[in-house]
Amino acid sequence: MKNHWILFILLLSIAPSTGLVCYKCYCQPANTTACDCGTIIDVEDGSHCTIVEDLHTSNPYIELSSAALNTSYVRIKDPYYIIVDEAIYYNETTTTWDKQTKHVVHGCDWDFCNKYEMIASLPQSFQLTIDASWLTDNIYGTGSTTSCNDCSTAICSNATHSIDYDQCPFKSCDNATTCSLYDLWHDVDTNELCYQSQCTPSEMVDEFNDANEKYKVQVEAIVYLAQNRSNFEIWELNINCAAENCTRPSIFQEVNELLSGVVSGIIDFPVTRPSTTPSPPSTTSTAPTNPLTCYNCSCIGTVCPCTTYEVISADDSYCSIIRQNYGQFTSIDFGHVVENSTHVYISEYPFVLAEESIIYDENTGRWDTQNDRVVFGCNTSLCNSPDLLYYLPNSFQMRLPEAWLNSSILGTGQSVRDCHECPDAPQCGTTDFLDPGRCPIKSCNTTCLVSDSFNDPANGLLCYQSFCAPEDSEIVHIDTHRVEIEGIVYANRASDLEIWEIDVYCRADDCSRPEIFTELRENLLYQPGDLTYLFNQSSGGKKLRCFDCYCEGGVDCVCETISIEDAGTTYCTLTRTYDGSNVYVYFQHADITDSYSNVRELPYVLVEEAILFDNQTGKWFTRTNEIIYACNVDYCNKPSLLTGAICTEQGITNGSTCPIQTCNTTCFASNIYSDPENNEQCYVSYCVPDSSEFSVDYYRVEVIGIVYPSHPDKVELWETYVYCQVENCTRPEIFKEIENQLTVKQGNLSVFFNNTVVGNPGQLHCYDCYCVDDPVCACNKTLALPDNTTYCTIIREYDGQDTWIILEHIDQNSTRVYIREFPYMIVEESILYNEGTSLWITRPNLIIYGCNTDFCNDPRLVPSLPANFRMRLPDEWLNNNILGTGLPVRDCHECPEAPQCGTTDFLDPGRCPIKSCNTTCLVFDTFNDPSVDEQCYQSFCAPPDTEDYQIDTHRVEIEGIIYGNRVNAQLELWEVDLYCRADDCSRPEIFKELQAQLTVDQVDLSPFFNITTTQTTTTPTVTTTPTPPAEPQLACYECACYDNPNCTCDTVKVSGAYSSYCTIIRINYETHFTIDLEHIDRNSTRVYIRKFPFILAEESILQNETTGKWWIRSTGQPARDCHECPDAPQCGTESFLDASRCPIKSCNTTCVVSDTFNNPDDDLLCYQSYCNPPDVDFEEDRHRVELEGIIYADNQNVVELWEIDVYCRADDCSRPEIFDELRGNLTTQTNNLPQIFNDSLVSIEPQRICYDCYYYDEPNWPCDKFTVADAKTTYCTIIRENYGDASAITLEHIDRNSTRVYIRTFPYLLVEESIIYSDTTTMEYKNEYGYLWM
């Protein structure tokens, strides 16, 4: 019989080159690191990419290639599929029908779709089953036969002509043997097929091994992944049988009707092709009615930038981020998942699903938790943002007590155990569903595999399956002690873990009992961690950190506790109160809405004081009751401010609304400013009852005042309270009298208003906490120590199933290797050999972040701490240099007493002689100071293992450091420890070899470091000087419009964000106006811009000769007094004018007077005045006031005047006081400001900025012009077109639909060339290219 799998594999390599791009490689599973699966090939139109996983024990392999469609022997209806070739065979040893997978093939038809990492996602079986009694009667029979239908050449049918089975008469076999027949469906729906049957040739019988092909039904089942994914179709049937008449043509239909299976393990294959992939010719697609946009990318490694996306239907799919770990490899996939493709129902969105394994380490005797996969699912457009990848949890920290694992999973080491047996299919029902007759107990001398799945946790439906695993083969190794748990966390119950599936690999007796899953759930510990960033990706405003403590007593108040609240609704306060005998100090948040008066700015200092009468001395005295300092910067209410100097500080209503009444006790009156800015006041007065708590204060005045940094020498009264027994002492006017009589003496408030230093001089504040199995580790405890002895750290340490997070000080001299600069990050990882799977696995041990600024080990950084750096070494190198060949003895250098230090070539054999070693060789290499290449080497033969102490036999431990402020910062190796059994693995050169072979994924460290990169062609010189951050770029629209109120603009320019900002400027000219959108230099304005966004307006008040008079108009005299200082402005405070600097002179033209604020915050004014020269004294400027004011978004009710220019002919109109008079008379009115300020911050649809220039026949083409367009419909291009000897260069956007050929991926290079016959040259043809596109 023909081997059609051989034909299929041969077809993979005959496709000619054009069109689709596929990966191509061939690998042996025992040595996958030796193959290069990065090679790509072009295949012809009509072909598709393939992945073939051959599982034959004799010669297994993995191949990435391509195959042609519509071959002569089969038709694939859709080139996006998975084929599983599975045999149900008779095991003559156990007399049972068993299953074995022969091949798995994946086909797809978009560029690079057959990537290597998809191999781990291929299903291993469709769990095909046929009733065992039918198989025994119709396939096995008596075990041999003497005759079969015979047509050794296949005969086929189609829709009009059926197979003539008379062409296949019965024929006697030469010897008692079996029959071999196959049936190949071209179309199972229309029964178009090919049939072939014969006596099994003797040479084929001789090839049978393990009795797994002598009696079998081998099924090639295909699932079309873009169609009905829950069902498979039969592609081909191969039968080897010995029952009577088993070659009858109808047997294939019988098998088709009896065959059942479960399509599973295809969750990682998207239900729809990526958006850049054309659909197969036989299918049609329409835009979804309810579209959902998801990012769509795949990467190997822990970093995966992604800008491409796909549009799918939200009715049956959701967006996803999937991170899978396999050995030393990690894959990241952004894409989508079809809702019904998962074996458990997803009930809501968003969610995070984790699959983790708890594995027994034979070497250490410990149980370790290993994360296998994490899935984030959501159902809003672009919700699977690449920015969220770093917030994907590293683990749910699933853990089980080791005592329970040892007794229920590991067992006591007995060779045989009881195991329930129902291998054919899961048995489903409620928690008490198990019928022993469906899964009888049998004796098992291998590993018992037991699974428990929730189809829907909401209704408690479980599916249970158990069977005894087959013996390990050369290719397949089954873990002997392992628990796999798959759990899901939903956003609305983020602390609850719902268990989806549990798979147990166990050797303890009766470990397949169904009750084990209930016990496991009761013992399971887990810690999902803080999933806020994932579940609240569009919210989560800025947080404000304030000291939070309470003290009684004086200034010696130690506060090391921090609290965190929303920065938009709270600010920090430091409050000191005095009740006459005791002092109380409060560090805390204050709600912005708690204040009953309007706080205009932060920081501020508020003081409440009482002026009291002492009956014993007969004197009035002042007592400070309360002082509040408020601010809105992290840690700004620091304890050191308690030593700041605050001394003391300094209202009216119609009294008819509060009629006078007789009072025989104390009168009380209060005056409160609801809004001092608008002079809004609230007055209260009444007669205090004798029982009142204030009855003792017969004579008292309480005053509460506030000081803002914008006017630090001015005290605004907030509240005034009067307790009095004088006639008419509650008159409303008394508050104005008090304000006029009040004397204020202020101390130095600069310590509060210039509070820009976070910590205290000479001390370093670090967070000080530790957490166990808490990936977030919220911490509010701090500790201050001398800044010249310690620095701050965040430490994550892995201990078996547990994880420790430690935030603390660390002594500068505590590390074995000298830390040269800050910040830094240390990572220690182990590459371990798994004896059961023969895989090398990378496991993180320790990560340390170190820094030396106040509060720099902020616990908010803990979720961003990388899980690992995925240090990897090639499997082949590890096998040769660490694992070895299994020899019992090896050479090992011996110097156990102490490390031997020197340069890289330092080793003196006499100090570390070679000795024979029959255990593990331990070899250590430590860099004491990498900058001078000093190393310390040590090696010795480990002692034999004892009951209490076992040493790993094959292990590589690597410790490295990254200095974060360096240019092109890379990982520097600190220490390498080897546990090896390969011969001569202790040679000193092995560390150089290791360093050359080492691969490291340096993940996103931007929350910790500001790593800058530079282009270089040589090895960069190592420097320890911190590099200042590069200036980020700011893109602004750049256009000019004339009399166009819309001013459509698509041109963009880029400039430094620190030195410029974006502006829209409209200038009015009589009946015309211009609009300019552009950058503006931050230093180009005469007055300092303090914050953004802002609106600045310049307006002129002009004299109208016909409609009225106003105060600046002259009386018509020919000359007037005018101060004269034309050369330069004279700057100072409000009362700065020195007459000698600007003397008064007579002026017979217009007097020009200006008043400019250099910085309104410090009240610094610049005054200038002069008599206008006659040649520029235009008539329209003779009576004019120009005002320039600014409004900031965070204080939209306040117009700050920047500059006032007065053009006047009134006498003495240049007096400096005129500007105060002007401010007192000025009124303003604004509209639409909230809309303008809000619109400037609203996010817009994705935009793409491209260079936009054109050059003709120019050797150089510098371009500094940009344009902006929709990123969804355009992309950037560089086009060079040749015209004879000349050429044109165009840099521009191009519409995605403008090209005749669909562009699938970016970037690309397109070339158009002509092959032209030349009549004038001796050459017959020449190549000329017309375009070069990028």
Which amino acid, 1231? N
Q: State how beta strands 955-963 and 914-917 pair.
A: unpaired
Q: How far apart are CA 699 and CA 687, in angstroms?
A: 13
Q: How far apart are CA 333 and CA 296, in angstroms?
A: 7
Supply the pLDDT for residue 448.
93
Decide if pLDDT at 4 tops 50: no
If pLDDT is split at 50, 70 and 90, which confidence band does 517 have? confident
Residue 1177 CA: distances (Å) to CA of 1018, 1125, 1154, 1171: 66, 17, 16, 9
Query: Mean pLDDT for the chain?
Result: 77
pLDDT tens across 390-446, in order?
778 877 888 899 889 999 999 888 889 999 988 877 777 765 555 656 788 899 999
Q: What is the torsional sign of CA 871, 876, 880, 885?
A: positive
Q: How far apart are CA 21 and CA 114, in angstroms?
A: 10
Percentage of residues in the chain having pLDDT higher than 70: 78
Name the residue with higher pLDDT: 194 or 341: 194
Query: Under a CB-based contact definition with an 8 Å cutoff, are residues 1299 and 1275 in contact?
Result: no
Run of H or E including 525: none
Supply the pLDDT for residue 879.
92
Highest mean pLDDT, choosing among 20-24, 70-74, 407-411, 909-913? 407-411
Which residue's entry shows tokens 């249970």?
A: 464
pLDDT tens across 728-772, in order?
888 888 888 888 888 887 777 777 766 655 667 788 889 999 888
Spatial CA neighbour of 165 closest among 244, 73, 251, 234: 251
- Count of CA atoms in the C-beta half-sphere (13 A) of 1055: 16
Question: Of 25-34, 108-117, 314-323, which gets the smallest average pLDDT?
Answer: 25-34
Supply the pLDDT for residue 909.
59
Q: Around Cβ 461, how many Cβ atoms within 10 Å?
A: 17
Question: Of 10-19, 290-299, 817-826, 1022-1031, which gets the smallest average pLDDT?
Answer: 1022-1031
Decide if pLDDT at 922 tops 90: yes
Supply the pLDDT for residue 1298.
73
Question: Of 150-164, 850-864, 869-883, 1235-1249, which gets the smallest average pLDDT?
Answer: 1235-1249
∠ Cα 939 943 946 (to 5°): 145
Q: If 0-12 CB within 10 Å is exposed, 13-18 middle and 19+ buried, where does residue 457 land?
A: middle
Q: How far apart are CA 1319 and CA 1088, in angstroms?
A: 72
Q: How far apart are CA 975 and CA 935, in angstroms?
A: 9
Q: What is the mean pLDDT of residues 5-18?
A: 32
Q: If 0-12 CB within 10 Å is exposed, 13-18 middle and 19+ buried, where does residue 928 land?
A: middle
Query: Under a CB-based contact definition with an 8 Å cutoff, are residues 1100 and 1184 in contact?
Result: yes
pLDDT tens across 969-1022, in order?
888 888 899 999 998 898 888 888 998 899 887 677 877 887 655 544 333 332
Beta-carbon contacts of 10 under 8 Å, excluding residues fewer than 6 positions away, are none
Supply the pLDDT for residue 34.
56
Q: What is the mean pLDDT of residues 340-364?
A: 81
pTM of the predicted structure, to 2 decimals: 0.43
Cis peptide before 350 (omega within 30 of 0): yes
Strands (E) across 615-657 are located at 619-631
Strands (E) across 632-726 are located at 666-675, 680-688, 700-707, 716-724
Highest mean pLDDT, choosing among 110-124, 886-900, 1031-1045, 1166-1180? 886-900
Name the residue with higher pLDDT: 160 or 309: 309
| DSSP conformation class of 409 | I
Decide if pLDDT at 249 tops 70: yes
Q: Helices then strands (H, E): number in the chain? A: 13, 73
Which residue's entry shows tokens 């008394």?
A: 734
Run of H or E including 172: strand 170-177
If pLDDT is split at 50, 70 and 90, which confidence band does 642 have? confident
Cis peptide before 386 (omega within 30 of 0): no
Query: Under a CB-based contact definition with an 8 Å cutoff, are residues 547 and 638 in contact?
Result: yes
Percentage of residues in the chain having pLDDT higher than 90: 10
Which amino acid, 933? D
Joined tokens for residue 1274: 């355009």
Query: Under a CB-based contact definition with an 8 Å cutoff, are residues 477 and 837 in contact?
Result: yes
Highest mean pLDDT, choosing among 65-74, 392-401, 484-493, 1153-1162? 484-493
Q: How far apart are CA 309 and CA 274, in angstroms?
A: 8
Question: Of 21-35, 479-493, 1235-1249, which gets the smallest average pLDDT?
Answer: 1235-1249
Decide if pLDDT at 454 tops 70: no
Q: How far apart are CA 24 and CA 51, in angstroms?
A: 9
Supply the pLDDT for residue 393.
81
Query: Under a CB-based contact definition with an 8 Å cutoff, are residues 318 and 349 in contact?
Result: yes
Q: What is the mean pLDDT of residues 514-520?
A: 87
If pLDDT is split at 50, 70 and 90, which confidence band does 505 have? very high
Name the residue with higher pLDDT: 107 or 718: 107
Decide if pLDDT at 1214 tops 50: yes
Decide if pLDDT at 872 tops 80: yes
Q: What is the mean pLDDT of residues 1024-1051?
A: 66
Highest mean pLDDT, choosing among 825-834, 1224-1233, 1264-1273? 825-834
Question: Of 188-192, 393-397, 1089-1093, which gets the smallest average pLDDT?
Answer: 188-192
Cis peptide before 457 (omega within 30 of 0): no
Supply the pLDDT for residue 1058.
64
Q: How far apart are CA 975 and CA 784, in angstroms?
A: 31
Query: Under a CB-based contact definition with an 8 Å cutoff, are residues 154 and 73 in contact?
Result: no
Highest mean pLDDT, choosing among 104-108, 1016-1020, 1068-1072? 104-108
Question: Of 646-660, 812-826, 1024-1038, 1208-1222, which gets the smallest average pLDDT?
Answer: 646-660
Phi, psi of 311 (to 5 degrees): -110, 125
∠ Cα 977 979 983 (to 5°): 120
Run of H or E including 516: helix 515-523
